[in-house]
Amino acid sequence: MIIYLVPLCGIIGLLYTAWRFKWVTDQPAGDANMQKLSGYIADGAIAFLKAEWKVLAYFAIPTAILLAWLGTTTIHSSPLIAVAFLIGAFFSAFAGYVGMKIATKANVRTAHAARTSLAQALKVSFTGGSVMGMGVAGLAVLGLSLLFIFFYNYFAKGELLTSDNMKKAIEVLAGFSLGAESIALFARVGGGIYTKAADVGADLVGKVEAGIPEDDVRNPATIADNVGDNVGDVAGMGADLFGSYVATILATMVLGQEISVMDNFNGFSPVLLPLFIAGAGLLASLVSTFLVRIKSETSSVQNALNIGNWASIAITLVACYFLVINILPEGNITLRSITFTRMDVFYAIIVGLVVGTLMSIITEYYTAMGKRPVMSIIEKSGTGHATNIIGGLAVGMESTVLPILTLAAGIIFSYQFAGLYGVSIAAAGMMATTAMQLAIDAFGPIADNAGGIAEMSQLPAEVRERTDNLDAVGNTTAATGKGFAIASAALTSLALFAAFVGIAGINSIDIYKAPVLAGLFVGGMIPFIFSALCISAVGKAAMEMVNEVRRQFREIPGIMEYKTEPEYEKCVAISTEASIRQMILPGAIALITPVLVGFGFKGVFPNTSSPEILGGLLAGVTVSGVLMGIFQSNAGGAWDNAKKSFEKGVLIDGVKHKKGSEPHKAAVTGDTVGDPFKDTSGPSMNILIKLMSIVSLVIAPYIAVKSGDVTTVEAAPTIIEAAMPVSINKELTSGVTLNFLEGGIEDQVIKFIESDVEAGKDNWFNFKALNFGSGSNVIDSTSLNEVKNISEILKAYPTVSIKVGGYSDTEGNDAVNLKLSSERAAAVKAALVTLGTDAKRLESEGYGEMHPVASNDTEEGRSQNRRIAVSVRKK
């Protein structure tokens, strides 16, 4: 029943969302003109989302039908994967809608609040952001946990975590993440094309050619620009981080499903832990939102946001400690031959939180005003447009060094602590505070819109000064948010990659194989062509926007004299149509490429399977995508803040330059180039690499390597291998279905109990998969399946009593061996009692080195003698 606490956390987050949404809408919305302008923005945003959703429906419904059909073709999936996909798609779209809705209400209210004080303006704008953050996290936690509960009860109720049906349940759950990430990619790319087409058009004609302010009401593209902030930086970002959040939790659950442990949750603790971490992080973020406050006009908005961010991280860290201690069991935990403890898992979580924090700090350094990187771009603006571009590109490239070193260190340390589970749980820890990260991120476009409304409404100078203060900080927080997202994507993609390898049935990816190396190169190319398509789309739409704005200035008299209102709706229509049309091809690349490689190369190469080639592709995409994402996001952010620095004036070679100067025009050009970098292709990279990994994970059961799929040429002599043991399912009288190998201890014990042979001292059955390390009396976590099955057999046959016998190899003297073997038998007895068997039905005894089953002359023989056997003493 404890699992139901996780969806409860999601419900609490959504209740907070509704409460704060109402608080924002209850704030005064300013005068009639401000409300009219805000209405234009809201109407444009809704029009875009409706057009986008219509196109996405054409994608989602056929995809769901295909997934449903594929679910009938293998025992490892189910048609229900289509339902999970559609729910994930809907939740992702709805998360973006919630963010957009609150942003279009908070922007005008922030502008009005700025008439009062900076503190009130921050309160309104950040509260609007927190509505989005808590809404996204609440939907993710609620949706994922409820679907997990449903699929567990539907497919695998009462079965072990490592059972085939449990694997099916989590594979079907992956459909939820696929739906979320698919919609996120289209929303991010489409929203990014929209906002940057409008922004570039507004800047080039309005600021550079006409010499009017950025958000001047006379600029026909200014409404489209403000709409773009909502559909790109808010709705797109909401869907983006919703998908990231879900993918991170799912990746950890997929790897956790491979772990066999004895715990208080019937062995489910490795899968439950990431869900509880997400719930705890959501609550920690909720509490921390109340700490984001300032007292005066001179207070630092950045410091206020940092306090909330640091508080959420600290609370989450403390919560994770208690979660790990109380959920994971004591003793060793093993995943793919890597053994670790629950404290090692906690240390991996610390690594994730540290990596996320460092990524934010590094990104802030490279994009914040007043720091060396931005100042270097400002200095280069003094000698023209070309040197500004050169400087921005150099900053972007340089900014990849520290983040990549941080990520590399994070991967190494988290893996050293807890293997692949450590890497994935580090990502889960990093993403736990998504609600706070997104609240800080969404605050930025709300403040930006507020400044635009203040400018268009010609509010007093002190109002625009306050909104500019918020906007400048928001620009930096947006950049740090993107750095945080790409860091989580790198760790999550590695975890998803590991999960794919396991399900696809391959042990390694050998780049010495030519098809794999080819896949690696093709994968490295994909982020480049993806970026090219996104940037080209912005360029095409911006050209249409520039021509439209020029036409209106030329053909509509009275615009520049404030006598005639521009035709805002035509610019909105240009951005909407262009973004919807241009988002399809980049999205298709991410979705179709893994399918083409996975199925298209199946059986083509005799020595290389298609999962290996697809693995090479994913490795190339991940490395190249992470680098491209960091480079583009940071270069764009630095260019943007270099331009903003001119608003207060900057010194270049001892001369002060302000808006309208030649260096400022060069900075505007740099910002224009950086716009699609930082708001379209750059932030889409993290979705690209995760989505391709998730698509690969979903198709893995259909392309998995089976015996005979890959032909390996072996040198003589020929080895004839024994047939693989047959796995059988046995339904007990208790209603529980066990899965075990034919001829295994479970099979032997059940047949003996149901036979006419009398119980006695001579019937002994060896545990074939339960051994101990040399000199150890601790049961290996990977050896517990047979113990759990014996426990279920005893529950089904309540009159049966057994005796557990422990043995030892010849290490030490007879007394040592007898003591150790007794402790081993007692450990198995204790494990059975923990699983619900009455201790009165159990005996245990050690036999030292008596009755060896193999020679002690070799380690292999000694390992066989370190065994446990069971005798049925009463039927």
What pLDDT, on the 0 to 100 scale, is given for residue 635? 94
The partner residues of 868 in beta bridges, in order of sequence, read 806
What pLDDT, on the 0 to 100 scale, is given for residue 715? 35
Instruction: State the residue for tokens 């002599």.
Output: 717
Q: In percent, how much of the chain has pLDDT > 70? A: 95
What lies within 8 Å, CB to CB, of 606 at 6+ separation is 710, 711
What pLDDT, on the 0 to 100 scale, is given for residue 319? 96
Q: Of the segments 217-221, 611-615, 768-772, which one has the largest average pLDDT value?
A: 611-615
Question: What average pLDDT score do residues 277-299 get?
Answer: 93
- Tens digit of pLDDT for each residue in 35-45? 988 888 888 88
Burial string for 801-810 (b: 16+ CB within 10 Å, else e) reads: bbbbbbbbbe
Closest C-alpha among 528, 519, 574, 476 to residue 684 = 528
Question: What average pLDDT score do residues 275-302 get?
Answer: 92
Q: Grade residue 603 by pLDDT with cuts at 50, 70 and 90.
A: confident
What pLDDT, on the 0 to 100 scale, is given for residue 522? 96
What pLDDT, on the 0 to 100 scale, is given for residue 707? 42
What lies within 8 Å, CB to CB, of 22 at 6+ separation is none
Return left, alpha or beta for 294; rule: phi > 0 is left, psi -120 to 50 is alpha, else beta.
beta
DSSP 428-484: HHHHTTHHHHHHHHHHHHHHHHHHHHHHHTT--HHHHHHHHHHHHHHHHHHHHHHHH
Among 393-407, 470-484, 743-757, the minimum mean pLDDT is found in 470-484
- Tens digit of pLDDT for each residue in 117-141? 999 999 999 999 999 999 999 999 9
Comparison of pLDDT for 599 and 711, the residue scoring more: 599
Q: Taking a C-beta distance cutoff of 8 angstroms, is the pair 865, 807 a contact?
A: yes
What pLDDT, on the 0 to 100 scale, is given for residue 622? 93
Instruction: State the residue for tokens 């429906």.
Output: 57
What pLDDT, on the 0 to 100 scale, is given for residue 781? 64
Pairing assessment for the beta strands 333-335 and 765-771 based on DSSP bridges: unpaired
769 pLDDT above the threshold of 80:
no
Burial string for 532-566 (b: 16+ CB within 10 Å, else e) reads: ebbbbbbeebbbbbbebbbebbeeeeebeeeeeeb
Q: Is 402 exposed, middle or buried (0-12, 13-18, 19+ CB in 10 A)?
A: middle
Instruction: State the residue for tokens 């695998």.
Output: 156
The number of angstroms, rounded, from the C-alpha of 185 to the middle of its chain's C-alpha atoms is 13
Question: What average pLDDT score do residues 60-76 get?
Answer: 86
Q: Is 506 exposed, middle or buried (0-12, 13-18, 19+ CB in 10 A)?
A: buried
What pLDDT, on the 0 to 100 scale, is given for residue 811? 64
- Tens digit of pLDDT for each residue in 800-856? 999 999 888 766 677 778 888 888 888 889 888 888 888 889 999 888 877 777 766
- Tens digit of pLDDT for each residue in 628-648? 999 999 999 899 889 888 877
DSSP 845: E
What lies within 8 Å, CB to CB, of 645 at 6+ separation is 369, 370, 374, 378, 667
Q: Taking a C-beta distance cutoff of 8 angstroms, is the pair 102, 24 a contact?
A: yes
Comparison of pLDDT for 793 and 481, the residue scoring more: 793
Q: Grade residue 366 by pLDDT with cuts at 50, 70 and 90.
A: very high
Pairing assessment for the beta strands 842-846 and 801-806 based on DSSP bridges: parallel
The partner residues of 605 in beta bridges, in order of sequence, read 608
Closest C-alpha among 225, 183, 237 to residue 45 = 225
Q: What value does the CA radius of gyration of the chain take, rounded to a whole number of Å?
A: 30
866 pLDDT above the threshold of 70:
yes
What lies within 8 Å, CB to CB, of 487 at 6+ separation is 355, 356, 359, 403, 406, 407, 410, 430
The number of angstroms, rounded, from the C-alpha of 166 to the middle of its chain's C-alpha atoms is 22
CA-to-CA distance for 104 and 223, rounded, in angstroms? Answer: 12
- Tens digit of pLDDT for each residue in 228-260? 888 877 888 888 888 888 988 998 998 888 887
Question: What average pLDDT score do residues 675-697 get?
Answer: 88
Burial string for 48-75 (b: 16+ CB within 10 Å, else e) reads: bbebbbebbeebbeebbeebbebbeeee
Q: Is 498 exposed, middle or buried (0-12, 13-18, 19+ CB in 10 A)?
A: buried
Q: Grade residue 675 by pLDDT with cuts at 50, 70 and 90.
A: confident
pTM of the model: 0.77
CA-to-CA distance for 337 and 507, rounded, in angstroms? Answer: 12
CA-to-CA distance for 664 and 860, rounded, in angstroms? Answer: 76
Give the pair of three-digit tokens for residue 640: 């943007």
Q: Grade residue 62 by pLDDT with cuts at 50, 70 and 90.
A: very high
Average pLDDT of the chain is 86
CA-to-CA distance for 812 and 791, rounded, in angstroms? Answer: 33
CA-to-CA distance for 555 and 672, rounded, in angstroms? Answer: 26
- Tens digit of pLDDT for each residue in 537-568? 888 888 888 888 889 888 888 888 888 888 88
What pLDDT, on the 0 to 100 scale, is given for residue 672? 87
Q: Grade residue 403 by pLDDT with cuts at 50, 70 and 90.
A: very high
716 pLDDT above the threshold of 60:
no
DSSP 798: T
What pLDDT, on the 0 to 100 scale, is given for residue 773? 72
Instruction: State the residue for tokens 């609550």.
Output: 283
Pairing assessment for the beta strands 727-731 and 737-741 based on DSSP bridges: antiparallel
Give the pair of three-digit tokens for residue 42: 């809201």
Comparison of pLDDT for 116 and 578, the residue scoring more: 116
DSSP 191-226: HHHHHHHHHHHIIIIIIIIS---TT-TT-TTHHHHH
Q: Is 318 exposed, middle or buried (0-12, 13-18, 19+ CB in 10 A)?
A: exposed
Q: Is 294 exposed, middle or buried (0-12, 13-18, 19+ CB in 10 A)?
A: buried
Q: Grade residue 83 by pLDDT with cuts at 50, 70 and 90.
A: very high
The Cα angle at residue 493 between residues 696 and 17, in degrees rounded to 5: 105
Closest C-alpha among 238, 278, 25, 49 to residue 132 = 238
CA-to-CA distance for 274 and 281, rounded, in angstroms? Answer: 10
What pLDDT, on the 0 to 100 scale, is given for residue 859? 67
The number of angstroms, rounded, from the C-alpha of 284 to the middle of its chain's C-alpha atoms is 18
Closest C-alpha among 780, 787, 745 to residue 266 = 787
What pLDDT, on the 0 to 100 scale, is given for residue 40? 87
Among 173-177, 426-430, 705-709, 764-768, the minimum mean pLDDT is found in 705-709
The number of angstroms, rounded, from the C-alpha of 175 to the middle of its chain's C-alpha atoms is 14
What pLDDT, on the 0 to 100 scale, is given for residue 725? 56
What pLDDT, on the 0 to 100 scale, is given for residue 782? 62
| E strand segments, 637-736 | 650-652, 655-657, 727-731
214 pLDDT above the threshold of 70:
no
> Three-class SS of residue 506?
coil
Question: What average pLDDT score do residues 457-480 get?
Answer: 82
Q: Grade residue 413 by pLDDT with cuts at 50, 70 and 90.
A: very high
